[in-house]
A and B are shown apart, each in its own frame.
Chain A
Amino acid sequence: MTVYVHSVSMTKFGNNENASLKDLMLTASREALDEARDLKIDAVFVGNYMGGSLANQEILGAIVANDLGLGPIPTAKLEGACASGGIALRQGILGILSGEYESVLVVGVEKMKHAPTATVTQFINSAMDQTTNERYAGLTFPGFFGVVANRYFHETGANKSHLAKLALKNRENALQNPLAQFQKPATLEEIMNARMITDPLGLFDCSPITDGAAAVVLSRKPSDIKIAASAQASGPTMMQDAIDLLSLPAIRISGQQAYEKAGVGPEDIDVVEIHDCFSMTEMLAIEELGFFPKLEGWLAIEQGKTRVNGEKPVNTSGGLLSRGHPIGATGVAQFYQLVLQLRGNAPNQLEKRPRLALAQNLGGTGSYSVVHILERV
């Protein structure tokens, strides 16, 4: 059996001051449902991370079913930190593959901008193991990738300018994306000299706090885009337990499994959306997914290979860094950009219309990774 993508939608990412979590979720869901009106939805899967703690709202699946008149169908909310959206997509796909459902709605959503940064940082930290000495040491989520970056600089010829070039690429891509959070141009100098968040990562190296939602309708009924692979892997939940600090094994394993399922290799992928929660994360991910050799991602950045019309375009949407990162929506928003690329009408559309697209969604400090490969048929 094969699963197909029938529609995608996405709200504007950024500060949606006047929209509640529910408003965002229903807006994206409605738009995706309207585009796939001929399908009867059999189940709803919601990707969301902190609706309960930060927006004081749970039962998201039931709200979608009720308010959008989908009837008494089963729904569920999936949580896997920043990979919540990717996991919701995967559960929707598995639900169809099991034979239980013919068509499903997957929606990812997060509402974050109303809370102070220290509060959001505190809640995001619950994506690390809170019972351990790492929490008491005051390690933060960005802090983990700061520690990784300093070691990466130590072992390679890379320095802060390579992370800045990567962040600049994603910002330039976002300028063409009307739904992206940041549409103000930035310069390399500005990125290099920005306020420090966690040494060596500055403001532009870290994904922002964002409100937003995205939705996808999947079905076993054919369309022109199929899911060629869905794979997921787990990794360490603590920094001190990483066997190799410069590796995110969950990304590597989920990538390998996805390539195997799709019967393709990294060289066959035409366009990529990667989980760049931090500039350093994209650097490691382009290596772990086999696009560039281990510890040589920085050379690819230097040579512009991941730019829009480079040999391996990464984050043509602007990525988490500049499109924005409403946590539970991020994995679903990656599908939005890739489906537009495959259809030929994306922001930063590739000159040669792509056939194979890869989405990689990360949760925690490498604790979850989900990889999907989409194929134009």
Chain B
Amino acid sequence: MKVYECCGVESVTKKVYCSTCRQEIKNEREVSDKGTVYSFTVIHIAPEEFAHLAPYTVALVQLRDSTAKLTVRIQESVQIGDLVQLEEIKNGTYIYQKVRTA
């Protein structure tokens, strides 16, 4: 998992310029794809393209070695604090699985 950093802010999204120093964001590093569930929701009413998956869980994961967070889809039901890890990246989706309950 790659994170991008400038002026102390880390993000999994690569933006062009830093909003603090206005310079091009150049620092990147590899971090673990493991993390904990920061929060989540179970989506029952989905847009057309995801209707066949509903209900499904979307979680915001706090990455273990970074201040960055990552939005993922997860198969199991989860609670805040559960330990999770990457299962696969499929069609641009980070699909995560639960490793351990909080």
Residues of chain A touching chain B, judged by Cβ–Cβ distance below 8 Å, are 117-119, 121-122, 125, 132-140, 142-143, 146-151, 154, 195-201, 238-243, 245
B93 touches A133 (CB 8 A): yes
Q: A143 contacts B41, CB within 8 Å?
A: yes
Contact across chains for B48 and A146 when beta carbons are under 8 A apart: no
Which residues of B are at the interface with A, using a C-beta cutoff of 8 A?
9, 11-13, 38-51, 53, 56, 58-60, 68-73, 80, 91-94
Residues of A within 8 A of B68 (CB): 240
Grouping DSSP codes into helix (H, G, I), strand (E, B) and loop, the B interface class, with mixed when no group exceeds half, is strand
Nearest chain A CB to B2 CB, angstrom units: 12
Cβ A139 vs Cβ B44 within 8 A: no
A residues less than 8 Å from B56 (CB atoms): 138
Q: Which residues on the A side are within 8 Å of B9 (C-beta)? A: 243
CA distance A151 to B38 in the complex (A): 7
Cβ–Cβ contact A240 & B42, under 8 A: no
* Complex interface: chain B residues within 8 A of A137 (CB): 58, 71-73, 93-94
Interface contact A118-B58, CB-CB below 8 Å: no
A240 B69 Cβ-Cβ under 8 A: yes
CA of A148 to CA of B80, assembled, Å: 12
Bound Cα distance A166, B69 (Å): 30
B48:A139 contact, CB within 8 angstroms:
no
A147-B39, A198-B45 are contacts. A136–B13 as well, Cβ < 8 Å?
no
A147 in contact with B60 given A136-B93, A138-B46 (CB within 8 Å): yes
Residue of B whose beta carbon sits closest to that of A146: B41
Q: Is there an interface contact between B80 and A154, defined as CB atoms closer than 8 Å?
A: yes
When the two chains form their complex, are residues A134 and B45 in contact, meaning their CB atoms are under 8 A apart?
A: no
In the complex, the answer to whether B94 meets A133 with C-beta atoms within 8 Å is: yes
Q: Nearest CB to that of B73 among chain A residues?
A: A137
A143-B58, A150-B80, A151-B38 as given contacts; A117 in contact with B45, CB under 8 Å:
yes
Contact A122 B44 (CB under 8 A): no
